[in-house]
Amino acid sequence: EAGVAQSPRYKIIEKRQSVAFWCNPISGHATLYWYQQILGQGPKLLIQFQNNGVVDDSQLPKDRFSAERLKGVDSTLKIQPAKLEDSAVYLCASSPFTTLSGANVLTFGAGSRLTVL
Amino acid sequence: AQSVTQPDIHITVSEGASLELRCNYSYGATPYLFWYVQSPGQGLQLLLKYFSGDTLVQGIKGFEAEFKRSQSSFNLRKPSVHWSDAAEYFCAVGGRGANNLFFGTGTRLTVIP
């Protein structure tokens, strides 16, 4: 099966500019996640969708970050305006399971590396 | 509170030597435990997982891990390391359902000839 697709792979912007990342999960996967991975750290959840609804966005800096998952398939993560500390790899992951089902295994995309100058 | 500790930031081993990467977790419910590997410029690939049953789990690429509830540990092992195993390894903990995974800070593995 095709994996989780992400684009762009690399992006360099100046602070205060905006950027958008796109993710297409594995076909049929109900749950989609965006993680932020800062250099030297483990991934941290930004937002979790189940179908096209938000399950958890408690760690999303909502003053500058937004995400949507229209039609419960692909998703877009936007940052506006970007800050220097947003430099990171943004990982998208998907899972076939929903909240009521069993153990959860996430499949990750290759990530989008953002550099903010 | 949920957390994962990987006490070793960087480990260097010789090719052919054995490997053990440490992972300790804190989780308020029955934990589901994972090891992922990340090669440079790549996403995370699942090595193995523990949900229940036999506490010694086998994964891909010859890796195994042992769940020890009394020690809150889930250490990753490989009897003989290959140069291609050089990468970053992340331990993660989650729970039942489509819950978030909490990741450790990772252990970078260097393999020398």
Domains of chain A: 5-97+107-116 (2.60.40.10)
The Cα A96–Cα A21 span in angstroms is: 22
Average pLDDT over every residue of B30-58:
91
pLDDT, residue A72, reads 83
Average pLDDT over every residue of A54-62:
92
Task: Kindly report, residue by residue over A16-44, the tens digit of the pLDDT.
Answer: 999 999 999 999 898 999 999 999 899 99
Mark yes or no for CB contact B96/A102 under 8 Å: yes
Residues of B in contact with A98 (CB under 8 A): 97-98
What confidence tier does B72 reach under pLDDT thresholds 50, 70, 90? very high
Average pLDDT over every residue of A58-67:
95
Question: Is the model's pLDDT at B96 over the cut of 80?
Answer: no
Interface list for B 51-110 with A (CB within 8 A): 51, 90, 92, 94, 96-101, 103-106
The Cα A98–Cα A55 span in angstroms is: 10
Domains of chain B: 3-112 (2.60.40.10)
Nearest to A80 by CA among A17, A38, A3: A17
Q: Which token pair is A64? A: 């500058």
pLDDT, residue A101, reads 56
Residues of B in contact with A103 (CB under 8 A): 32, 49, 51, 96
Which of B4, B101, B104 lies at the smallest CB-CB distance from A106?
A: B101
pLDDT, residue B30, reads 81
Question: Is the model's pLDDT at A14 over the cut of 80?
Answer: yes
3-state SS track over chain B: CCEEECCCCEEEEECCCCEEECCEEECCCCCEEEEEEECCCCCEEEEEEECCCCCEEECHHHCEEEEEHHHCEEEEEECCCCHHHCEEEEEEEECCCCCCCEECCCEEEEEEC
The Cα A80–Cα A86 span in angstroms is: 10
Mark yes or no for CB contact B101/A55 under 8 Å: no
The Cα B102–Cα B98 span in angstroms is: 13
Task: Return the residue of B nearest to A106 by Cα.
Answer: B46
